Amino acid sequence: MREPTRRVSTTGCLRRALVAGAVLGGSLATAATAAAAPSAIELRYSAPADVPGCLSERELLTAVTERSPPGTILEIGTEQAVRVAIGIARAAGTTQLRATIVIDEDIREDEPVQELIASDDECRTLGVAAALAAGLAIERTLDRRGAPSPSTGAPPAIADDPPAVEAPPRPPSRVRVASRAAALVSYGVLPSPAAGSAAGAAIELGDWSAGLEASAFLPAAISSPRGGGARAALAFVTVTPCRRIARFEACAVAALGDFRASGTGSLLSRSTRALYAALGVRGAIELVRAEPFAVVLHVGVLAPLLRTTLHIGDELLWKAPSAGGEAGLTWRITIF
């Protein structure tokens, strides 16, 4: 009897993925012709080369061996009576990864299939879950092939529930470094809306990251009803600790820089400068991702700690509002 394909979907939770793998591994135990246990099991493995963090062939072999019955011999690329194939590939039409575990025996005509699904930044976690499911499936397969016929007519007892499986510790997250370049627009940061740009880098560890950026806005002008006016420009650096959830990112922003202004009239060309310091928040969404590239749209709010004012004589031209907005389109490249 052909066993149906079973699927399990995970969203970043290692324990759910591993326990689901254990339950699916248990489902492979069915009645079959008794035979001697093989001396070795053939293991095949494939994973996409463009997805970072996947287990290597040697790492997967070690992981499956640790989770298989004692004395089991696993070999890669040899013809054995029992074959275990583990493949990781991108799920069609999505950004998710799918792990497929296939047990193929000479004494069986069908190939029971298991599938585990995880997000594309959890390839290593998915590999560990697949290794656990494969180890349990191997144990069931060896028991089925080597079990002697019962001495009595009573059928063997079948456990109502699969055995409890303790999830192995989560593998350490890999540190990644990404560079950024952005086109910016602002409102309320300078006397009038202004365009600007930013460049920087970020260190990413799991769902967390910390970025450092240098930004600048082009001069923005304001006029006086009495004639003349002023223009101001801003250059600053920002520190942005962030938390990522799927395609979304939330950040805190701390900015420190130089605010420069000058008069625009022929008699009012005096220049001045002031310290710019602000705190704020930023939200971002990943629009496009094709490793190692990504395009991200962000919107943020900056609240100046020092509210700058522009005067011509006793006339107040502009005073920085309590908060200003900025938005940008960022091109991100993961370096390693």
| Domains assigned to the chain | 6-146 (no CATH), 175-334 (2.40.160.20)
Tokens of 119: 């997000």
Tens of pLDDT along the chain (336 residues) come to 444 444 444 444 444 444 344 434 444 333 333 334 444 777 788 888 878 888 888 888 888 888 777 766 666 666 666 778 888 888 777 778 888 888 776 545 455 577 888 887 888 888 888 888 888 887 777 777 664 433 344 444 544 555 555 555 555 667 899 999 999 999 999 999 999 999 999 999 989 999 999 999 999 999 888 878 889 999 999 999 999 998 999 999 999 999 999 888 765 567 788 999 999 999 999 999 898 899 999 999 999 999 999 888 788 889 999 999 999 999 999 988
Tokens of 161: 């529930």
Structure confidence at residue 138 (pLDDT): 79
Q: Which of 61, 76, 79, 64 is nearest to 25 (CA)?
A: 64
Cα 13 to Cα 17: distance, rounded to the nearest angstrom: 6
Cα 296 to Cα 166: distance, rounded to the nearest angstrom: 39
Structure confidence at residue 76 (pLDDT): 67
Q: What is the dihedral of CA 248, 252, 328, 185, to 10 degrees?
A: 150
Structure confidence at residue 51 (pLDDT): 81
Structure confidence at residue 75 (pLDDT): 67
Structure confidence at residue 303 (pLDDT): 97
Give pairs for 308-316: CB < 8 Å, separation 24+.
308/232, 308/259, 308/261, 308/274, 308/276, 310/191, 310/222, 310/230, 310/232, 310/261, 312/224, 312/226, 312/228, 312/229, 312/230, 312/263, 312/268, 315/224, 315/226
Structure confidence at residue 229 (pLDDT): 86
Q: What is the bridge-based pairing of β-strands 113-119 and 309-312?
A: unpaired
At residue 135, φ and ψ (nearest 5 deg) are: -60, -45
| Length of the chain counted residue by residue | 336
Helix (H, G, I), strand (E, B) or coil at 252: strand
**CB crowding 298-314: b at 16 or more within 10 Å, else e:** bebbbbbeeebebebee
123-146 vs 57-66: helix crossing angle, rounded to 10: 50
Give the amino acid at 301: V
Cα 201 to Cα 142: distance, rounded to the nearest angstrom: 52
Strand segments (E) across the chain: 6-9, 41-46, 74-76, 82-90, 96-105, 113-119, 175-187, 194-205, 208-223, 229-245, 248-263, 271-290, 293-304, 309-312, 315-319, 324-334
